[in-house]
């Protein structure tokens, strides 16, 4: 037999096969498992069914694990919780648990699975098994799932065999249903999925749900009812039958004795001496400091080390109450079957400070009494005031006690006091399993491998990877990339930009409606920059629109906004009922921007297309073969130099990239990354939507009023922009030059005379100006040439002067060379 060894608060504990962490610890003599959250009271095994919080420990860094539900295995590190609270130290709640290990070091594995069934049965006891078999017999096509939170089905063996063998039934063991949601959606966590430290979150859709969760036993309220050694009869029974443990030496039984007749025999067979059996009414208190030593009753004191609570059984319906109007059938004990007693006697000490009603949050009978006496007489309000029932067990252990206590004080009936609603997730689930697998989709451009070979340092842009800069050569690489574009030629991969085709009789009309410019009159062969506003005149996105044919346009968007723009276009087309086909071509195309004073001679080597300005002016596009690849070339200039954006089918992207670099070797062409591009465009004061603009920016305050063609009869945002143009501006996006070479961070606040007037959106060192430049939002009184402003970053002030014009080539001559 393999030895199972794990660590308990630094000591080694031996476990047997079949042990849970809880049973192994109990066998090893551990009685105090942990300390309560609020007052640090010692807590030990209490229910052994995963229904209470008393055995919650931290296992392998995951706090609040119910140790009675975790199978013991070698190598676990188990720690008790709230020891500092027990010692009287005031520990902030956030510091109660060990810090989570870094994600990369976590050995936990989480998955999500989406499943659909005709019927899902929750609970693998006798009535659950019966319900599953009845469901599949309805028709041969029925697919039924059975969720059981324990390691094995617990109904009659014959039925369990049938269920396991049935081809239409899928059984999920160690699988706790934690919530029932609208649309008959069940959330369940499958522990030990594939490997011991893995969890699987099941999203189960069912036409019908059958609730067969049975009943659970709850506690009685008396002084020190939470002492280790006081436990529910379910726990005692499981100790004996499942784990072969001897729960104690001398026991006293409290409560519904007639229900627990079999337990008396079991205890005696296990060698436990039953000292007495007492009614709840006669209990005064349990006594002991770390463990129970006696039960004091009206008739005398019983010296015992085990108090067995034969508590009332309650149908396990918590999650159904919060589920709303779903198709749920309740069967078996969950429907009240076989539950005979509804009595809940309260002994006199039920209102004591040491009578713990809510084991999770340490709410005592005294706390409940105070709340009720101050006029709070509905249990939902008691829950809100005292925190009773708000924590991990969601009222299982406390709700009945609170309801009966309230009823006794007020004289109202139990029905009038009401019941609380358990809320999912119950039982608790780890954040890890909700988050799921630790991976993120990554999109790579067709030229990705080339960038890698060229020494790219990567940055994330949405799901995309883009070269930030190329570290080879390592020194001053951004400056070298910048200089290549300004002085010779540079090439940047812009495949990540959104590319959308808009085609059909109403294509021009649609673009007229959603963009601020007019496109129905744009000649075929021309390209135009435009912005997209919402109905309030806020800039939502920008891009270029080229007219490819009479009824076909090619639209580019920002990298992360393509899905939004695509849906936006579809939406307006749908609302208007126009005939237009919109296709997102982004993944099918590669695009690269070749720019710089020598870009024409580089490109001309690869194409017969006449690239001269007379034949191919700025803001024109042409179809042509480039290095024998069918390409669309658009003469546009985000970086402020003569340049072409070359769009080819994705398959040819890496080939053409190589060809362009080769053709440019004579002029020492360089690939450039996003960082150099950001400096180049900042010198031209070309905005980046979402960087220089925010969720409220309109074209007028962004200094781009020219984009709003108000003479167009209609477009989205026209009414608002007409009004905004008339109204005085509240703020303006301006350029500024810093005094020194030090560069404060993007987002730094802007001050004038120590008073905040705005913030800087982009700040970079400009090799053109030989100093820091940037753009900032300021109030209109500061938006004039030469106004002295101060950027503040990390308590350092950076003086700067507002600059009205563009930093580089204000006339745009270099674009049109």
Partner 1 sequence: MSFLLKCPNCGERSVYEFRFGGELRRRPQPEAHFEDFLQYALYKRNIAGAQWEWWCHRGGCGEWFKAHRNTLTNEVLETLLPQDEAQSG
At its nearest, how many Å lie between partner 1 and the CB of residue 463?
Answer: 15
Residues 642-661 that bind partner 1 (CB under 8 A): none
Q: List the one residue from 249, 416, 505, 571 that touches partner 1 (CB under 8 A).
A: 571
Instruction: Convert residues 277-316 into a mask of x (bound to partner 1 by CB under 8 A) and - (unbound).
Output: ----------------------------------------
Which is closer to partner 1, CB of 571 or CB of 706?
Answer: 571
Omega of the bond leading into 36 within 30 degrees of 0 (cis): no
For partner 1, the closer CB: 186 or 251: 186
CB of 632 to partner 1, least distance (A): 25
Q: Examine residue 412 and tell whether it contacts partner 1 (CB under 8 A).
A: no
- Contact between 182 and partner 1 by CB under 8 A: the answer reads yes
Strand blocks (E) in 512-601: 527-533, 539-549, 552-557, 581-584, 589-595
Interface residue with partner 1, options 5, 536, 548, 661 (CB under 8 A): 536
- Binding of partner 1 by 2 (CB under 8 A): no
Given the complex with partner 1, which of 598 and 718 has the nearer CB atom? 718
C-beta closer to partner 1: residue 535 or 797: 535
Nearest Cα residue to 77 out of 96, 98, 93: 98
Sheet containing 621-626: order of strands: 621-626, 629-634, 643-649, 589-595, 490-493, 670-671
The Cα–Cα gap between 347 and 290 comes to 23
Number of residues that bind partner 1 (CB under 8 A): 24
570 binding partner 1? (CB under 8 A): yes
Our CB check for partner 1 shows the closer of 567 and 781 to be 567
CA 809 – CA 587 distance, rounded (Å):
34
Residue 93 DSSP symbol: G
Render 2-69 in DSSP notation, one character per residue: --EEEEETTEEEEE-TT-BHHHHHHHTT----EE-TTT--EE----SSS-SSTTEEEETTEEEEEGGG
Stretch that binds partner 1, among 26-34, 38-46, 568-576, 800-808 (CB under 8 A): 568-576
Query: Would you state the torsion angle of the CA atoms of residues 685, 686, 688, 693, taken in this order, to the nearest 10 degrees?
Result: 60
Residues composing the chain: 817
441 binds partner 1 (CB under 8 A): no
Q: Which two tokens stand for residue 735?
A: 């350029």
Pairing of strands 490-493, 670-671: parallel
Residue with tokens 């004038």: 752
Q: Which of 93, 99, 104, 325 binds partner 1 (CB under 8 A)?
A: 325
**DSSP string for 696-752:** T--TTTTT-GGG--TTSS--TTHHHHHHHHHSPPS-EEEEEEESSS--PPTT-EEEE
- Closest approach, Cβ 693 to partner 1, in A, equals 19
CB of 287 or CB of 518, closer to partner 1: 518
Interface with partner 1 includes 577 (CB under 8 A)? Answer: yes
Q: Smaller CB distance to partner 1: residue 431 or 574?
A: 574
Residue 118 interacts with partner 1 (CB under 8 A)?
A: no
- Within residues 693-722, the interface with partner 1 by CB under 8 A covers 713-714, 718-720, 722
DSSP reduced 3-state for 367:
helix
Q: At its nearest, how many Å lie between partner 1 and the CB of residue 155?
A: 30
Does 575 interact with partner 1 (rule: CB under 8 A)? yes
Taking the C-alpha atoms of residue 463 and residue 228, their distance in angstroms, rounded to an integer, is: 53
342 belongs to the binding site for partner 1 (CB under 8 A) = no
434 belongs to the binding site for partner 1 (CB under 8 A)? no
Question: Which is nearer to partner 1, 170 or 570 (by Cβ)?
Answer: 570
We find the least distance from the C-beta atom of residue 203 to partner 1, in angstroms, to be: 8
Residue 452 as a binder of partner 1 (CB under 8 A): the answer is no
Parallel/antiparallel/unpaired status of strands 198-211 and 215-217: unpaired
- Residue by residue, DSSP assigns 249-316 as SEEEEEE-TGGGHHHHHHHHHTT-EEEEEE-GGGEEEEEESSSEEEEEETTEEEE-SEEEEEPPEEE-
Least Å from the CB of residue 445 to partner 1 = 23
Binding residues for partner 1, rule: CB under 8 A, are 181-183, 185, 205, 325, 534-536, 563, 566-567, 570-571, 574-575, 577, 713-714, 718-720, 722-723
């Amino acid at each position: 037999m393999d030895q199972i060894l794990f660590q308990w608060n630094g000591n080694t504990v031996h476990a047997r096969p079949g042990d849970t962490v809880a049973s192994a610890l109990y066998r090893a003599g551990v009685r105090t498992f942990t300390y309560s959250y609020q007052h640090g009271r010692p807590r030990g095994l209490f229910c052994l069914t995963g229904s209470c919080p008393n055995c919650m420990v931290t296992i392998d860094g995951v706090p609040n694990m119910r140790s009675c539900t975790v199978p013991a295995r070698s190598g676990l590190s188990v720690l008790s919780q709230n020891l500092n609270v027990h010692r009287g130290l005031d520990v902030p709640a956030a510091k109660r648990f060990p810090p989570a290990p870094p994600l990369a070091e976590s050995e936990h594995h989480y998955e999500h699975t989406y499943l659909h069934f005709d019927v899902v049965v929750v609970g693998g006891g006798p009535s659950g098994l019966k319900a599953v078999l009845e469901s599949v017999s309805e028709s041969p096509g029925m697919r039924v799932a059975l969720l059981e939170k324990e390691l094995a089905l617990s109904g009659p063996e014959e039925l369990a065999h049938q269920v396991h063998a049935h081809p239409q039934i899928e059984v999920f063991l160690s699988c706790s249903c934690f919530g029932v949601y609208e649309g008959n959606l069940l959330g369940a966590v499958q522990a030990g999925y594939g490997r011991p430290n893995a969890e699987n979150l099941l999203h189960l859709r069912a036409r019908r749900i059958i609730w067969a969760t049975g009943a659970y036993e709850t506690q009685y309220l008396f002084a020190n009812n939470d002492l280790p050694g006081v436990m529910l009869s379910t726990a005692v029974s499981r100790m004996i039958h499942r784990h072969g443990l001897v729960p104690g030496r001398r026991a006293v039984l409290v409560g519904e004795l007639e229900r627990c007749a079999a337990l008396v025999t079991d205890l005696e067979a296990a060698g436990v001496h039953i000292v007495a059996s007492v009614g709840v009414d006669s209990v005064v208190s349990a006594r002991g400091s770390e463990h129970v030593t006696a039960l004091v009753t009206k008739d005398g004191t019983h010296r015992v080390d085990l108090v067995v609570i034969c508590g009332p059984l309650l149908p396990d319906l918590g999650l159904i109450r919060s589920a709303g109007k779903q198709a749920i059938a309740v069967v078996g004990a969950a429907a009240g079957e076989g539950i005979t007693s509804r009595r809940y006697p309260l002994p006199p000490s039920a209102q004591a400070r040491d009578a713990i009603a809510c084991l999770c949050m340490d709410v005592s009978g005294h706390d409940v009494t105070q709340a009720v006496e101050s006029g709070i007489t509905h249990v939902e309000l008691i829950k809100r005031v005292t925190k009773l029932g708000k924590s991990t067990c969601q009222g299982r252990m406390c709700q009945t006690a609170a309801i009966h206590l309230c009823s006794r004080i007020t004289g109202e009936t139990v029905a009038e006091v009401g019941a609380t609603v358990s809320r999912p997730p119950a039982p608790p689930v780890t954040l890890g399993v909700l988050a799921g697998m630790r991976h993120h989709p990554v999109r790579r451009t067709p030229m990705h491998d080339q960038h890698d070979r060229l020494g790219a340092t990567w940055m994330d842009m949405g799901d995309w990877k883009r070269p930030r800069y190329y570290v080879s050569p390592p020194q001053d690489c951004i400056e070298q990339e910048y200089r290549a574009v300004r002085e010779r030629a540079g090439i940047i991969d812009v495949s990540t930009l959104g590319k959308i085709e808009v085609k059909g009789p109403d294509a021009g009309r649609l673009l007229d409606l959603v963009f601020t410019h007019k496109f129905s009159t744009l000649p075929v062969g021309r390209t135009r920059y435009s912005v997209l506003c919402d109905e309030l005149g806020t800039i939502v996105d920008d891009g270029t629109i080229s007219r490819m044919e009479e009824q076909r346009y090619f639209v580019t968007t920002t990298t992360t906004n393509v899905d939004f723009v695509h849906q936006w276009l579809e939406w307006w087309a749908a609302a208007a009922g126009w005939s237009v086909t919109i296709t997102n071509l982004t993944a099918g195309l590669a695009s690269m921007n070749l720019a710089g004073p020598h870009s024409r001679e580089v490109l001309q080597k690869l194409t017969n297309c006449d690239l001269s300005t007379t034949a191919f002016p700025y803001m024109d596009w042409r179809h042509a073969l480039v290095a024998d690849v069918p390409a669309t070339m658009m003469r546009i200039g985000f970086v402020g130099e003569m340049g072409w954006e070359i769009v080819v089918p994705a398959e040819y992207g890496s080939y053409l990239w190589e060809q362009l670099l080769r053709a440019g070797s004579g002029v020492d062409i360089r690939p450039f990354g996003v960082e150099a591009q950001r400096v180049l465009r900042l010198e031209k004061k070309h905005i980046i939507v979402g960087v220089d603009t925010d969720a409220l920016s309109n074209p007028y305050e962004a200094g781009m009023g020219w984009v709003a063609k108000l003479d167009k009869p209609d477009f989205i945002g026209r009414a608002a922009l007409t009004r905004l143009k008339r109204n005085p501006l509240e703020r303006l996006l301006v350029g500024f030059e810093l005094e020194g070479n030090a560069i404060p961070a993007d987002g730094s606040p802007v001050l004038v005379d120590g008073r905040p007037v705005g913030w800087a959106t982009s700040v970079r060192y400009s090799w053109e100006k030989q100093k820091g430049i940037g753009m900032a939002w300021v109030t209109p009184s500061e938006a004039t040439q030469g106004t002295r402003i101060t950027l503040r970053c990390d308590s350092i002030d950076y003086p700067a002067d507002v600059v009205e014009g563009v930093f580089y080539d204000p006339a745009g001559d270099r674009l049109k060379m």
